[in-house]
Chain A
Amino acid sequence: DAGITQSPRHKVTETGTPVTLRCHQTENHRYMYWYRQDPGHGLRLIHYSYGVKDTDKGEVSDGYSVSRSKTEDFLLTLESATSSQTSVYFCAISAGHDSGNTIYFGEGSWLTVV
Chain B
Amino acid sequence: DAKTTQPPSMDCAEGRAANLPCNHSTISGNEYVYWYRQIHSQGPQYIIHGLKNNETNEMASLIITEDRKSSTLILPHATLRDTAVYYCIPSGSARQLTFGSGTQLTVLP
A interface residues, Cβ below 8 angstroms from B = 2, 31, 33, 37, 42-43, 45, 48, 58, 90, 92, 94, 97-108
Q: Size band of the B side of the interface?
A: 20 to 34
Q: Nearest-CB distance from A55 to chain B (Å)?
A: 13
Contact B44 A105 (CB under 8 A): yes
CB neighbours of B49 from chain A (8 A)? 100, 102
B interface residues, Cβ below 8 angstroms from A = 30-32, 34, 41-46, 49, 51, 91-95, 97-101
Question: When A98-B92, A99-B31, A100-B32 are in contact, do A90 and B98 touch as well, CB less than 8 Å?
Answer: no
Question: When A99-B32, A100-B32 are in contact, do A43 and B97 touch as well, CB less than 8 Å?
Answer: yes
What is the interface of chain B mostly: helix, strand, loop, or mixed? Answer: loop
Question: Would you give 18 A-B contacts (Cβ < 8 Å), ordered by A?
Answer: A31-B94, A42-B98, A43-B99, A45-B94, A45-B95, A45-B97, A48-B95, A97-B93, A99-B31, A99-B92, A101-B93, A101-B94, A103-B46, A103-B94, A105-B45, A106-B43, A108-B41, A108-B43
Contact A94 B98 (CB under 8 A): no
| In the bound complex, CA of A37 to CA of B18 (Å) | 26
CB neighbours of B30 from chain A (8 A)? 99
A92 contact from B94, B98, B100, Cβ within 8 A: B94
CB neighbours of A97 from chain B (8 A)? 93-95
